[in-house]
Amino acid sequence: MLARSTQIRHPLGVTLHTPLLVPSFSSKALGFNKGGKSELRKVFDLASSGLTDIMLVSAFDLAYGHLEPIARAITEVVIIDSGGYEVSDFQDFSAIFWEPARLREAVGWSEERLCEVYGH
């Protein structure tokens, strides 16, 4: 069966061809080690050499230092999501462990904090 495909042209000149698999990185999906530190940076560093067109990272992880700010373009397009997944009770169906939710109030995650990340 053939998949329908199309092109998405970004105003900055990047063209993406769909369907598209977007590598995504989240501290919630990876959990934390015994010292309470996210394993995300280690996994991201290992995977980054294979990234090319596009990736998705969490504003939450950028704000709390689980990932370093994206100072240089690793991929042509970087999607920064809202960080809502990291503070929600939702668990991915494929998760092999249960990671307790980080309550928005406990970590200070808010729309204002999200706007700070988007502003940088």
pLDDT 10s digits, 5-41: 899 888 888 888 888 889 988 887 766 666 667 788 8
Q: Say if residues 26 and 32 touch (Cβ distance below 8 Å).
A: no
Q: According to the model, what pLDDT value does residue 119 have?
A: 86
Q: Report the side by side order of strands in the sheet with 54-58.
A: 24-25, 54-58, 77-81
| Percent of the chain clearing pLDDT 90 (strictly above) | 2
What pTM value is reported for the model? 0.75
Residue 96 has pLDDT above 70, yes or no: no
